[in-house]
C-alpha cells in the first residue's frame, strides 16, 4: 500500500463533450450504450449514466463488447448497475491526459473538480458493476496533480472507480501498467481499483454502506482496493467460489473504519513488487466504535524486496480494530532474499493470530512492534520459515501482556517486551 487520502491541486477539466450518439432507454430501465467508436466514448457513456439517474433506482447501463475510450465519468446519487459483455470482452479504457481538479476529497467530484479516477460516483450512490474490464495503459495517464501524502506532483491515476456510498463488484477486471506510482523500477500507473468511503464533506461519516468485491482480478495496481472512512460491511471474497486474485497489487487497504465489519477471505495475493503489502490495515476513526476485521484462508505470495504479508499500524492510544488473522498461507521470498516479513503490526491491541502457515526466507514471520498489547499469537506453523532477523517471532521493547504459544519447540521468539507470556518456544 503506497498511500491513501491525498489533497491535490492542478488545472480544470478542459475537454468538451460532443452531442451523444443514440442512447436508448429500453423497457425495464436498461439503457444501452452505443458500440465503441474507437475515438472517444465519454459522451455516450456519460449520457447513459445520466439517463439512469433520471429513471431512478434499479436502472442498468448496458455496455457492448469492445473497447470504450473515455475521459473522466461523473455521476451523483446513482442507484443502479453498470454491466458489460464479460471480462476482457468489454473494456473501459482511460484516454491519455486526464486533467484533475483543485480539491480532491475536500469537495465533491464535479465538472470543475474532476477526480483522478475513470469513474466517480458522488453524492450517496449505490452501484453494482459486473462483467467488464477497466484498463489504464498510459505511463502517465494524467497531466499531473499535487498529492499531499507524497508532497509531490504526480501523474498516475488515483484509481479506476471512486465511490461515495455502497458498491458491489463481481466478475470485474482492473488492469494497470508500468507508471510513476512507486519507488522502484516496477512502479505502476494506477493507485487503486476501487476507492470507497462514507464521509461527507463537512467532516462527518455517513451511515452504513456496503462494499463487496468478488470473482474479480486486479493486476499491476498499487492497492487492490481502498475502503476508507467507512462504517458499514465490507466483504472481499467470502468463499472459495467468490475468491479474487491480486497480481502485482496489494490485497487491499482498510483505513479509518468507524464501527465497520470487514472480512477478506479466500483470496490470492501474489506480487514481486518492491515495498508492496499483502493487506494493509489502518486505525479506526472513533475509539468508541472499533471495527471488526477477519482475514482468513487467504494465500499471500510475496517474492520482492521489503514487503509485508499483512501490515497494520495504529497511532499509540488509538483503539485498534478487533482483528482476527487465521488459517492464511504466507509465502515470503524465493530463498534469494530475506527482506520481507509475514506480518508486521504496530500498536496492535487485542488481536488473534492463529493457525497460519509461514514459509520461505524472510525477515520475521510475526512482528509485534511499538506498544502492541493483549494479543494472542497461537499455534502458527513456522516449520518452513527461515528468519533473517533475530527470530521468527519478535516483540518490541514496548510490547506488553501478549500471549505467544508456539506450535513447535523449535520455533524461535525474541521477546524484548514486558509481562508477555511465551509458551513452548525457543527464546
pLDDT in tens, 175-217: 999 999 976 556 899 999 999 987 777 666 666 789 999 999 9
Q: What is the pLDDT of residue 21?
A: 43
For residue 55, which phi and psi values (nearest 5 degrees)?
-70, -30
Residue 326 contacts residue 298 (beta carbons within 8 Å): no
Q: What is the pLDDT of residue 15?
A: 30
pTM of the model: 0.90
What average pLDDT does this structure show over 154-183? 94
Distance CA 427, CA 418 (A): 14
Distance CA 395, CA 230 (A): 31
Q: What is the pLDDT of residue 203?
A: 65
Distance CA 236, CA 339 (A): 28
Distance CA 180, CA 186 (A): 9
Q: What is the pLDDT of residue 10?
A: 30
Identify the three-state secondary structure at position 193.
coil
Distance CA 90, CA 260 (A): 33
Residue 94 contacts residue 135 (beta carbons within 8 Å): yes
Q: What is the pLDDT of residue 341?
A: 84
Residue 345 contacts residue 367 (beta carbons within 8 Å): yes
pLDDT in tens, 55-73: 988 899 999 999 999 999 9
Q: What is the pLDDT of residue 219?
A: 95
Q: What is the pLDDT of residue 310?
A: 83
**Cell numbers placing 393:** 517471532
**Reported confidence tier of residue 365, pLDDT bands at 50, 70, 90:** very high
For residue 204, which phi and psi values (nearest 5 degrees)?
-90, 180
CA geometry: angle at 362 spanning 398 and 271, to 5°? 110
Q: What is the pLDDT of residue 260?
A: 86
Query: Which helix (H) or strand (E) element contains residue 42?
Result: helix 42-55
Handedness of CA 209, 214, 220, 224 (dihedral sign): positive
Q: What is the pLDDT of residue 19?
A: 38
4, with CB counted inside 10 A (0-12, 13-18, 19+), is buried
Calculated CA dihedral for residues 396, 401, 407, 409, nearest 10 degrees: 70
Return the residue matching grid coordinates 429500453. 26
**Cell numbers placing 210:** 456496503
Q: What is the pLDDT of residue 25?
A: 42
**Cell numbers placing 280:** 494493509
Q: What is the pLDDT of residue 6?
A: 28
Residue 426 contacts residue 409 (beta carbons within 8 Å): yes
Q: What is the pLDDT of residue 27?
A: 45
Distance CA 355, CA 360 (A): 17
pLDDT in tens, 9-19: 233 233 333 33
pLDDT in tens, 372-385: 999 999 999 999 99
Question: Does residue 347 register a pLDDT over 70?
Answer: yes
Query: Which helix (H) or strand (E) element contains residue 45?
Result: helix 42-55
pLDDT in tens, 269-294: 988 765 556 677 776 555 566 788 99
Taking alpha carbons only, the member of 61, 65, 90 closest to residue 75 is 61
Taking alpha carbons only, the member of 47, 196, 61 closest to residue 121 is 196
What average pLDDT does this structure show over 340-361? 90
Percentage with pLDDT > 70 across the chain = 85
pLDDT in tens, 90-104: 999 999 999 999 888
Q: What is the pLDDT of residue 276?
A: 56
How many alpha carbons lie under 13 Å from residue 309 in its C-beta half-sphere? 31
What average pLDDT does this structure show over 328-353? 81
Question: Does residue 41 register a pLDDT over 70?
Answer: yes
Q: What is the pLDDT of residue 382?
A: 97
Q: What is the pLDDT of residue 278?
A: 65
Q: What is the pLDDT of residue 256?
A: 81
What average pLDDT does this structure show over 136-153? 89
Q: What is the pLDDT of residue 66?
A: 98
Q: What is the pLDDT of residue 287?
A: 58
| Mean pLDDT of the residues in the chain | 86
3-state DSSP helix/strand/coil % of the chain, to nearest 5: 5, 50, 50
**For residue 349, what are the β-bridge partners?**
373
What average pLDDT does this structure show over 252-273? 87
Distance CA 262, CA 87 (A): 26
Amino acid at each position: 500500500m503506497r498511500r491513501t487520502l491525498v489533497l491535490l491541486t492542478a488545472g480544470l477539466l478542459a475537454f468538451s463533450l460532443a452531442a451523444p450518439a443514440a442512447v436508448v432507454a429500453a423497457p425495464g430501465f436498461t439503457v444501452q450504450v452505443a458500440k465503441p467508436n474507437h475515438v472517444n466514448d465519454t459522451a455516450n457513456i456519460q449520457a447513459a449514466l445520466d439517463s439512469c439517474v433520471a429513471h431512478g433506482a434499479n436502472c442498468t447501463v448496458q455496455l457492448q463488447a469492445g473497447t470504450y475510450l473515455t475521459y473522466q465519468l461523473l455521476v451523483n446519487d446513482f442507484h443502479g448497475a453498470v454491466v458489460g459483455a464479460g471480462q476482457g470482452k468489454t473494456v473501459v479504457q482511460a484516454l491519455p491526459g486526464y486533467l484533475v481538479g483543485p480539491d480532491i476529497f475536500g469537495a465533491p467530484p464535479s465538472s470543475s473538480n474532476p477526480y483522478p479516477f475513470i469513474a466517480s460516483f458522488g453524492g450517496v450512490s449505490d452501484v453494482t458493476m459486473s462483467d467488464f474490464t477497466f484498463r489504464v495503459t498510459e505511463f502517465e495517464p494524467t497531466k499531473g496533480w499535487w498529492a499531499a501524502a507524497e508532497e509531490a506532483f504526480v501523474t498516475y491515476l488515483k484509481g479506476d472507480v471512486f465511490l461515495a456510498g455502497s458498491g458491489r463488484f463481481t466478475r470485474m477486471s482492473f488492469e494497470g501498467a508500468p507508471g510513476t506510482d512507486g519507488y522502484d523500477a516496477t512502479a505502476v500507473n494506477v493507485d487503486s481499483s476501487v476507492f470507497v468511503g462514507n464521509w461527507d464533506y463537512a467532516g462527518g461519516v455517513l451511515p452504513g454502506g456496503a462494499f463487496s468485491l468478488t470473482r474479480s482480478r486486479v493486476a499491476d495496481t498499487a492497492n487492490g482496493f481502498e475502503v476508507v472512512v467507512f462504517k458499514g460491511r465490507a466483504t472481499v471474497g467470502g468463499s472459495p467460489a467468490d475468491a479474487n486474485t491480486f497480481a502485482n497489487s496489494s490485497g487491499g487497504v482498510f483505513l479509518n473504519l468507524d464501527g465497520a465489519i470487514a472480512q477478506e477471505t479466500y483470496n490470492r495475493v501474489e506480487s514481486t513488487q518492491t515495498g508492496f503489502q499483502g493487506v494493509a490495515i489502518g486505525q479506526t476513526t472513533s475509539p468508541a466504535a472499533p471495527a471488526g476485521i477477519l482475514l482468513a484462508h487467504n494465500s499471500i505470495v510475496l517474492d520482492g524486496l521489503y514487503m509485508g504479508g499483512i501490515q497494520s499500524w495504529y497511532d499509540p492510544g488509538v483503539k485498534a480494530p478487533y482483528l482476527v488473522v487465521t488459517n492464511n498461507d504466507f509465502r515470503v521470498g524465493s530463498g534469494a532474499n530475506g527482506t520481507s516479513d509475514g506480518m508486521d503490526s504496530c500498536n496492535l491491541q487485542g488481536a488473534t493470530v492463529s493457525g497460519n502457515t509461514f514459509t520461505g526466507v524472510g525477515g520475521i514471520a510475526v512482528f509485534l512492534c511499538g506498544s502492541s498489547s493483549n494479543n494472542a499469537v497461537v499455534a502458527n506453523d513456522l516449520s518452513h520459515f527461515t528468519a533473517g532477523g533475530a527470530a521468527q517471532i519478535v516483540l518490541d521493547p514496548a510490547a506488553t501482556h501478549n500471549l505467544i504459544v508456539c506450535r513447535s519447540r523449535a520455533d524461535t521468539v525474541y521477546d524484548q517486551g514486558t509481562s508477555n507470556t511465551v509458551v513452548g518456544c525457543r527464546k
